[in-house]
Amino acid sequence: MQRRLRAADIDFGSIRTDLGLSEEFGAAAQHEAETAVDRFADSRIDRTDLALVTIDPPGSVDLDQAVHIARDGDGFVVHYAIADVAALVVPQGALDQETRRRGQTIYFPDGNVPLHPRALSENTGSLLPEQVRSAVLWRIVVDAEATPVSVDLARAQVKSVARLDYAGVMADHAAGTLHASIAALPDFGELRQRLSISRGAIELGLPEQDVVRDADGNWELSVQPRTRADMWNSQVSLLTGMCAGALMLDHAVGLLRTLPDAQDGEVEALRTAAAALGVPWPESVSPGAFLAGLDPQAPTTLALMSDATTLLRGSDYLALLGEIPADAVTTHGGIAGVYAHVTAPLRRLADRFATEVCLALHAGEPVPEWVLAALPTLPEIMRSSGAVAGRADRAGLDLAEAILLADRVGETFSATVLHPKRGKRPARIFIAEPPVFATCIGDPAEGSQISVRLTSADTHGPDLVFTAETSP
């Protein structure tokens, strides 16, 4: 058995420096965050009677969402409280301007560079347990087919009664002791996922690679399992985002999250790969349904899921200001519907403005001028900050991989081939232990299980290169 890879210390600060990122806020922005008051305190409905709970990774304190879900005959009533960041940030003030420069929270293995000062994002604005907080409360009723039949939203005072995490929710589900506020969540989530797949949505099951501290404080590479609880909870967020997107598209005002539909050539390439791997794919089955039906334990599934990432390229934002451009993409191909980001305003700038649009449209009121003025600027802000977030994520993994594997050069590992060599592009592999995605010299067959030898682990690059050897 291969030994676990650990490092007592890895300095991720150099990556933040290279990317020009700093947690420090200007004095005026910091002061606004520390002294923020609810601009809508007098007009909120009181829903502190609603026993909301949050579900987040362990240790999270920037809590954007809290949920309560109950059965309603054959359907469900979903209450989803979203932190009301717009009520705490003065439009066009110092903090507003600073968050527009940042775009979103950028995550690193040793912490994050937040969108808002922690006094707001991890305290007064966060839906922490047993604290009365300002929120935008969505109430969505879905029928027996999981289709929305009623959507309402309003500014409210709310109180979370428990902070849960995904592993704990799964353990409670297995023991039959789910918190009463989410006892109906598993059935709701499964129903919504089935509807999603039938619509043509595409969900990928690739391992989520991460760098984490173990119980002794050492760094190690890890694969974070995506539990069914993750999926159930994400279905609440997806439902809310789809309702928000539909509302904005109906009025041609707002900010949509978009993704072009997969092109015929990309689907055909995936079909060709499936055929080459001996995995049956009936003509009548959509890509999403095909991927959802794959055996998660089969090595060919990992290869096909990796190939399927080509179906989900080109995500963007579309600002609408009273009309819909004739050639605009207005839907999200991965979700197979209209969609908007509205559920993470503490961590993502776009959500604050999109939520303000939804509140105004739902109430039949004009969208605030400060929101309309910002909408055209948001797609570029989110594209730019998203690119930085991607570079930060990859750089953190690259650095950790190179440091953790530096003394393993020359050793062999068992790997699954994700992509074969294509022209000048080397093959791509996944190693389960330690969990690593990397390039591979040689011409191994896609979906095959092979032995690879580590030939380079450059801590100054950083980069990992493996060479294909023989089938294990």
Three-class DSSP category at 142: strand
Span 246-261, pLDDT tens digits: 999 999 999 999 999 9
Instruction: Print burial letters for 207-241: b (CB count within 10 Å at least 16), e (below 16).
Output: bebbbeeeeeebbbbbbeeebbbbbbbbbbbbbbb
In terms of C-beta density within 10 A (0-12 exposed, 13-18 middle, 19 or more buried), how is residue 144 classed?
Answer: exposed
Tokens of 435: 């969990």
One-letter amino acid identity for 435?
Answer: P
What pLDDT is recorded for position 337? Answer: 97
Q: Which two tokens stand for residue 126?
A: 């966060």
Helical packing angle, 299-307 and 264-276, nearest 10°: 160
Residues of the chain with pLDDT below 50 are 1-3, 472
C-alpha torsion sign, points 189, 195, 201, 204: positive
Q: How many C-alpha atoms does 408 have within 13 Å on its Cβ side?
A: 22
Q: Could you give the CA distance from residue 279 to residue 301 in angstroms, rounded to a whole number? A: 9
Cα gap 259→335, rounded to integer Å: 9
Q: What pLDDT does residue 223 have?
A: 82
Closest C-alpha to 316, from 241, 259, 265: 259
Amino acid in position 57: P
CB atoms within 10 A of CB 265: 9
Residue 216: per-residue pLDDT: 86
Q: Which two tokens stand for residue 276?
A: 């080459």
pLDDT tens digits for range 185-200? 999 999 999 999 999 9
* 128 and 160 Cβ atoms separated by less than 8 Å: yes
pLDDT recorded at residue 424: 86
Q: How many residues does the chain have?
A: 472
Q: 429 burial class (0-12, 13-18, 19+ CB within 10 angstroms)?
A: buried
